Amino acid sequence: MTMLSRRALLASALLPLGVAALPARAQTPPDFGKVAPPIFSALAKANDIPGLVVGITRNGQHEILAIGRTARKGGRPVDGDTLFELGSVSKTFNVALAALAAERGRLDLDAPLEKVAQRLTGTAFGALTPIDLATHATGGMPLQLPDSIRNEKELVAWLAAWKPAAPPATRRAYSNISIGVLGLVTATALDIGFTRAAQRDLFPRLGLKSTYIDVPEDAMARYAMGYTKANKPTRVNPGLLAPEAYGVKSTALDMLTFLDANMGVGDVAPDMARALARTHTGYFETASYVQEMVWERYPWPVPLDRLLKGNSLDMAIKPQPITRLDPPSPPVPASYINKTGSTNGFGSYVVMLPAEKLGIVVLANRNYPNEERVKAAYALVEALTGR
């Protein structure tokens, strides 16, 4: 288990020889290096996780806790630069690109999709908007595409024939299809492929150095091996809508930079900052949280049982009642904003408390229950905020 504090390392390196460090102020923040290891060592052990990296950002200062290895056999110690699959946390980049396209005047987030995808004119899906897709407000779309859908032509035909189970504004069901199609719609509006737009435009503009959809050969040594619940090694398979819905790989350090950008910390171009702020507009109220563009917003402070309910399997796979917010809710600093993500072999969880300028990322090379991630991160938040 290793600890890294960029600020501490820099401070010690600059300290003149023979000069003692100044005493800490009376009101020092809780020490991440003391409170995090017991929480996350227990989490890794209880869930048999080969490698786990936890990172926090406080006012733009990053600290990392690394536990375990990149593989059960032949791996190396994980660290802040280890690549993990993000699963559905990838969707937060999808909506950021859609919002950036809107900032550039290339995509109207409130216009029917048929204006961009004319082959869907007159269909139930064509009547939906990009915001509907970004908030899962489609009326009960399935989680995954049927196995028979193998290319975009077949996808469009399936979408044209699709019928909602209920009015889009009254029921919600989590869907890789809806957010995946949002990525295709955004790419069409930008006149570029989604992967190319993300890797050559979005990620660099966010200041991300090690975030990929297609991991380059020179970064493969840092790409952890994932493990299924049956303890079999695995990595995500490429497929239709995978890049848009769950295909991003990133590091803890890059994800902390991304959380900073979302909280208005750091150097981000004005149009990118406005796009990220737009993704934190609240559009629907669910039983547990306000649905932003993919992100899920709770009031802060929030009780743990409410977080667990909002991140439960039922909330993800069963249609849920929703209420449209009219007008939409602007970003609320006093919030606990989160997103979980999984592939067959990886589990991720990210949290932001904008008012506290506190962000947390938890990356693991095993898929383990959301409930365990939420409990551990919540315990860390309580310790760091003194609540």
Catalytic, 174? Answer: yes
Q: Rounded to 10 degrees, what is the CA torsion of 140, 95, 344, 84?
A: -170
Asked whether the beta carbons of 33 and 341 are under 8 A apart, the reply is: no
Length, in residues, of the chain:
387
3-state SS class at 66: strand
Which of 197, 193, 2 lies closest to 80 in space, CA to CA?
2
Catalytic, 289? Answer: no
- Please tell me the distance from the alpha carbon of residue 247 to that of residue 339, in angstroms, as a whole number: 15
- Please tell me the distance from the alpha carbon of residue 354 to that of residue 251, in angstroms, as a whole number: 21
Asked whether the beta carbons of 102 and 108 are under 8 A apart, the reply is: yes
Angle between helices 370-385 and 32-46 (to 10 degrees): 170
- Please tell me the distance from the alpha carbon of residue 201 to that of residue 186, in angstroms, as a whole number: 13
> What sign results for the dihedral spanned by CA atoms 189, 108, 336, 264?
positive
**Which is catalytic among the residues 5, 41, 88, 288?**
88
Look-up: residue for tokens 């497929």?
239
**Which is catalytic among the residues 41, 90, 148, 174?**
174
- Please tell me the distance from the alpha carbon of residue 220 to that of residue 70, in angstroms, as a whole number: 11
Residue 190, phi then psi, degrees to nearest 5: -85, -5
Q: What are the E-state strand segments in the chain?
A: 2-5, 51-58, 61-68, 84-85, 171-172, 226-227, 233-234, 249-250, 282-285, 290-291, 296-299, 320-321, 323-329, 335-342, 347-353, 358-364
Q: Which residues pair with 61 in a beta bridge?
A: 58
Would you please indicate which residues are annotated as catalytic (active-site) residues? 88, 174
